[in-house]
Amino acid sequence: MIIYVRIEHTTQNAEDVSILASATVAELEVLDDKPYAAWIATELETADFLRFKLQNCIENRVVEYTKLNQPEMQFDDLINNTTTWQDAILAIKAKFPKEAI
């Protein structure tokens, strides 16, 4: 299960996986949330973290998009009847999926 915990005083169990962390909240994939009960983030803290996560996703996508020569890819796709540009964009979106807030 995915939980959001305040970072202060949190010690992560070895079997749990840290997915992403902001300055105040961490997203963890855990088998049991009981050890984290005292540090579960509030709804407001979780909403702030999800906004951070979305912004992080957008920034990562922009970095990847700027590495592409998109106009040339689009022109080549038009001439060659290929989908190289679309494939590249879809791969970036799959690598950095948006989360709904």
SS (H, E, C) the chain: CEEEEECCCCCCCCCCEEEEECCCEEEEECCCCHHHHHHECCHHHHHHHHHHHHHHHHHHHHHHHHCCCHHHHHHHHHHHCCCHHHHHHHHHHHHCCCCCC
Q: How far apart are CA 89 and CA 64, in angstroms?
A: 9
Side chain identity, residue 12: Q
For the segment 37-88, what is each residue's pLDDT rounded down to a tens digit? 887 888 888 888 888 889 999 999 999 999 999 999 999 999 999 999 999 9
Q: Which amino acid is at 19?
A: I
Q: Which residues pair with 4 in a beta bridge?
A: 27
pTM for the complete prediction?
0.69
The distance of Cα 86 from the centroid of its chain, to the nearest Å, equals 21
If you average pLDDT over residues 20-41, what whole number do you get?
83
